[in-house]
Amino acid sequence: MATTISNSTNFSFEQLLRPHLKSIEAYSSARSEFSGSANVFLDANENPYSEQFPYHRYPDPLQKALKAAISGLKGISADHLFLGNGSDEAIDLLMRAFCEPKTDNILILPPTYGMYKTSAEINGIEIKRVNLEAGSFELDAQKALDAVDKHTKMIFICTPNNPTGNNISDESIKHIARQFKGLVVVDEAYIDFSPNSSWIHFIKDYPNMVVLQTLSKAWGLAGIRVGMAFAHPSLIQILNTIKPPYNINSLSQEQALKVLAQPEKMRNTTEGVIKMRQKMAKELLDIPYVKQVFPSHANFLLVQVSEADKLCILLREKGVIIRNRSKEVHCEGCVRITIGTEYENNILMREMKALAEVL
Ligand SMILES: *Cc1c(COP(=O)(O)O)cnc(C)c1O
């Protein structure tokens, strides 16, 4: 049966929701209306003569098997979980659910992940900014709270933060979650590289909190586009109502299930990345034009050099691509370097050392 968003009760999701969505019905796909078992499926205009078995069928619109696996791994029930075509889809859907174009705004904390801004701009939503502190990239929670107005629907907190690599302090996040009347979106794309524990288990204490994670980074599945949002079931229901019906394709659901069945492999590779990150951080500091390597809890390093633009251009000529972040606020002279394979890292270090002659 079609469900409407107005079933949501707790907190004030109802009040936060864009008015025209309060009575909207989800598109009712053939696969979502029938959820029992049957032998004859003649409800979705698929091609039964196809040799593409089982891909001639539409995928499960609510990804039940995949959600069950994630729910087991994370220790939280599946009704607290939304899956998106990458967490970027969850970011976009959150804005489309709660922010009225030209009226509402979001608060971001630069320097941070670029999609919050891009998604807001695409959706015609105003952006407020409170910069993280220069040098430490810590968050002044009170400053953030002072910047919001009655149209601020969400605050995006990325921890560990991209591109700086540091964790945002627990106290700041709690302070904001307690005081802010809108949604607090905690983006944990890099959580598996961090010693900190996830905020997933706090969504019961803070009903206005949404935690984003992804299979793109530590899980090594950037190509299949699967992202997760953990939140109160009423909010999950809202996202499910407005998402494209078949947003995660069958191949992605299948591959995700396979990889999630072996979490120890993910943990082994992330441990390797962390060791490599520590080694590279030290080695980079030996290069004369490297001024600073910021502490990182992610799978990349933010590195301050004397001439970032020039370094990126010269490395590119050698076939080595790193990310220039020097135009970001408080990131003067900074580049972001992903921890790669030993082979890639060795080439990067060799080329960077060689450039000490000219930089
Ligand atoms: C990489 C990244 C994502 C993207 O996740 P997808 O699931 O690949 O869309 C989200 N947030 C941050 C902070 C990221 O760095």
Mean pLDDT for 111-138 is: 98
Q: Please report the pLDDT score of residue 8 as a whole number.
A: 39
CA dist list (Å): 145 to 75, 114, 138, 148, 160: 31, 21, 15, 6, 20
DSSP for 45-82 reads ---TT-SSTTTTSPPPTT-HHHHHHHHHHHTS-GGGEE
Q: Please report the pLDDT score of residue 64 as a whole number.
A: 96
The predicted-structure confidence for 127-147, as pLDDT tens digits, reads as follows 999 999 999 999 999 999 999
If one residue of 94, 115, 226 were mutated to test the ligand 1 pocket, choosing by the most ligand atoms within 8 A of its CB, it would be 115
3 neighbors 237 (Cβ within 8 angstroms): yes
User: Is the CB of residue 162 below 6 angstroms from any atom belonging to ligand 1?
Assistant: yes
Find the length of the chain: 359
110 neighbors 132 (Cβ within 8 angstroms): yes
Q: Please report the pLDDT score of residue 201 as a whole number.
A: 93
pLDDT band at 28 (very low <50, low <70, confident <90, very high): confident
Kindly give the number of the ligand 1 atom that is closest to the alpha carbon of 89.
Answer: 9
Within 10 Å of residue 71's Cβ, how many Cβ atoms?
16
Q: Phi/psi at 305 (nearest 5 deg)?
A: -125, 170
DSSP 75: T
pLDDT band at 11 (very low <50, low <70, confident <90, very high): low
DSSP 4: B
User: Is the CB of residue 234 below 6 angstroms from any atom belonging to ligand 1?
Assistant: no
pLDDT band at 7 (very low <50, low <70, confident <90, very high): very low
User: Is the CB of residue 83 below 6 angstroms from any atom belonging to ligand 1?
Assistant: no
Q: Please report the pLDDT score of residue 32 as a whole number.
A: 78
User: Is the CB of residue 160 below 6 angstroms from any atom belonging to ligand 1?
Assistant: no
Name the CA dihedral angle for 303, 306, 307, 312, rounded to a multiple of 10 degrees.
-30
As a 3-state breakdown, the chain gives helix, strand, coil percent values, each rounded to 5, of 40, 15, 45
Mean pLDDT for 205-231 is: 98
Cα of 280 vs centre of ligand 1, distance in Å, is 23
If one residue of 119, 158, 217 were mutated to test the ligand 1 pocket, choosing by the most ligand atoms within 8 A of its CB, it would be 217
pLDDT band at 34 (very low <50, low <70, confident <90, very high): confident
User: Is the CB of residue 113 below 6 angstroms from any atom belonging to ligand 1?
Assistant: yes
Question: Which stretch of DSSP H or E encloses residue 211?
Answer: strand 209-214
pTM of the predicted model, to two decimals?
Answer: 0.95
Structure tokens given for 295: 């502490």
Of 244, 245, 238, the C-alpha closest to 7 is 238
DSSP 147: H
Cα of 217 vs centre of ligand 1, distance in Å, is 8
- 322 has a pLDDT exceeding 70: yes
Q: CA 270, CA 260: separation in Å to the nearest integer?
A: 14
- 9 has a pLDDT exceeding 60: no
User: Is the CB of residue 158 below 6 angstroms from any atom belonging to ligand 1?
Assistant: yes
Q: What is the mean pLDDT of the chain?
A: 95
Instruction: Name the one residue in this structure whose structure tokens are 């606020």.
Output: 329
Cα of 183 vs centre of ligand 1, distance in Å, is 19
Q: 47-51, 128-132, 284-288: which has the minimum mean pLDDT? A: 47-51
DSSP 236: H
Q: CA 206, CA 199: separation in Å to the nearest integer?
A: 10
Q: What percent of the chain has pLDDT over 90?
A: 91
pLDDT band at 2 (very low <50, low <70, confident <90, very high): very low
DSSP 160: S
Cα of 215 vs centre of ligand 1, distance in Å, is 9
Q: CA 172, CA 184: separation in Å to the nearest integer?
A: 12
Cα of 211 vs centre of ligand 1, distance in Å, is 12
User: Is the CB of residue 222 below 6 angstroms from any atom belonging to ligand 1?
Assistant: yes
User: Is the CB of residue 251 below 6 angstroms from any atom belonging to ligand 1?
Assistant: no
Q: Please report the pLDDT score of residue 1 as a whole number.
A: 37
